[in-house]
Structure 1
């Protein structure tokens, strides 16, 4: 049976998955790039950037596993871009250029839907204003038997967690403090219905996996 996964979501020690003041120069907010230095150090991270080298091992294994079996992605509008409110136009096509890294149907939650946006490489962005349950139903249908990945930002992940829709959540806890930005743990209480099923440490980060209890 297909499942909904959060994979490789980097988070600071004080619970932030993005820094404050997101804009085109700071896609993950001020200081947010510090959450992803461990990714850039891996063999897979080097391959993504078109360079040789990089480390194998625990972190690289988690990065590679993040794409396995995924047939569709769900993300929030903040992850798609820095524009807020009504779209001024439809020129913004995401942070990733003409060939985004998803290569499948990707559902962007927004209160301001716009026409679907097909991109090179098989990615099509769908802009939807639906409940988490309805968005997940559409994503499962698009995934055609494969699993669905839930990306950021923090607000979207919290919505799906509160609805009990996430089957497994993998957080990469990075030993930095951001002091502000988009915080994951707000309004989740003790995260009822979930338990820590795995903790694996590398020299760079601590990988914590939450599963449905």
Structure 2
């Protein structure tokens, strides 16, 4: 049985290679992700995560990448409607960025509705849980996801598994995580062997 500790779930999403890496040895190399990220399974998976969410929680690196790219998809000719839907949501939703160095000008596009906070991820999540809203979703910010897993603050763990061995690179699951059980709530296989998996923490 999965019970939430509050009305707001913390949902994390990460893409992994079959051998457990979330990035290649060269973190700028995203060629291993691209063949799968544009498929129906990945797009539908992403949509299912942002639609119930009202807050995006991001690390600095991911925030700069996301807010540098996704707003350009709005109105892009030939854009998949699911991509444009996510792009519009990201622009319009509350964004919380964890950083000790980032200082965008208040209200500067595309940083509207963005708050930069220099506090541990678990403390920020506790504050967000105390406020009204939908899911708090963390997209691909490894440092934030790692901190929340270590603190036992993840309610829903979403993963895209791509059928490729990277052989090297950072891993998402470090030794020493709290012993926990998770229950599988959905799984979808793509035509190229990719898997969309969603697990809820058993409390």
Fold conserved between structures, TM > 0.5 = yes
Residue 141 of structure 1: how far off its partner (Å): 6.1
| Cα distance change, pair 4–18 in 1 and its aligned pair in 2 (3 A) | same
Match of 1:95 in 2: 68
Matching of residue 11 in structure 1 with residue 9 in structure 2:
no
Aligned to 1:104: 93
Q: Cα RMSD (Å) of the superposition?
A: 2.9
Distance change >3 Å, CA 121–CA 110, structure 1 → 2: closer
Greater fraction helix? 2
How far did 1:114 drift?
A: 2.3
Deviation at 1:207, TM superposition (A): 2.1
Which secondary structure state, in structure 2, belongs to the residue aligned with residue 34 of structure 1? coil
Residues 53-110 of structure 1, C-alpha deviation per residue, up to 9 Å, x if partnerless?
A: xxxxx5443232121111111111221348xxxxxxxxxx942265683121212222
- Name whichever of 65-74 and 179-188 sits farther off: 179-188
Q: For the residues of structure 1 that align with 2:111 and 2:52, how far apart are their CA atoms?
A: 16
Q: Measured at CA, do residues 133 and 180 of structure 1 come closer, stay the same or move farther in structure 2, by a change above 3 Å?
A: same
Q: Which has the higher contact order (CA 8 A, sep 6+)?
A: 2
**Is residue 70–residue 146 contact of structure 1 (8 Å, CA) maintained in 2?**
yes
**Structure 1 residue 179: Cα displacement:** 2.6
How has the CA–CA distance of structure 1 residues 188 and 94 changed in structure 2, closer, same or farther, with 3 Å as cutoff? farther
Runs of 5+ consecutive residues of structure 1 not aligned to the other structure: 23-28, 43-57, 83-92
Q: Any idea what SS the aligned residue of 1:64 has?
A: helix
Specify the SS of the correspondent of 1:207: strand
Does residue 179 in structure 1 map to residue 167 in structure 2?
A: yes
Deviates further, 180-189 or 128-137: 180-189
Aligned equivalent of 2:25, options 20, 41, 45: 20
Whole-angstrom distance in 2 between the partners of 1:164 and 1:177: 28
Q: What is the match of residue 47 of structure 1? A: none
Aligned partner of 2:48 in structure 1 is 65
Question: Normalization by structure 2: what TM-score?
Answer: 0.72
Residues 33 and 126 (structure 1), Cα distance of their counterparts in 2 relative to 1, 3 Å cut: farther
Pairwise CA distance, 1:188: 4.6
Match of 1:197? 184
Mind listing any 5+ residue stretches in structure 2 that lack a counterpart? 1-6, 74-86
